[in-house]
């Protein structure tokens, strides 16, 4: 029996969580939350945080990691 779209989505989300747990994801939720905490405290602006996130994503392949979107699509 083929999996439904709902089941596929759940499996993909779990794949992202699993990849983050083993440290394969460069722009993990922890990294994103840390950036937003810096924005909240006024250390950096939202635009600066977005620029840093973009830089992290672009450097992921060089570091041998993947982005959250890549982990999702692989799941």
Residue 31: is its pLDDT beyond 80?
A: yes
Q: Return mean pLDDT, the chain.
A: 93
What's this model's pTM, rounded to 2 decimal places? Answer: 0.81
The span from the CA of 58 to the CA of 26, in Å, is 9
Domain definitions of the chain by residue range:
5-74
pLDDT at 14 over 90: yes
- Looking at the predicted structure, is the pLDDT value of residue 1 above 80? no
| 39/16 Cα distance (integer angstroms) | 25
- Residue 3 has what pLDDT? 81
Instruction: Enumerate long-range contacts of 33-37, CB under 8 Å, 24 or more apart.
Output: none
């Amino acid at each position: 029996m083929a999996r439904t779209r709902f089941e596929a989505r759940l499996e993909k989300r779990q794949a992202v969580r699993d990849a983050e747990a083993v440290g394969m994801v460069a722009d993990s939720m922890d990294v994103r939350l840390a950036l937003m905490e810096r924005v909240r405290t006024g250390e950096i602006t939202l635009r600066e945080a977005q620029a840093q996130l973009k830089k992290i994503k672009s450097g992921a392949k060089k570091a041998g990691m993947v982005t959250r979107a890549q982990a999702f699509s692989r799941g």
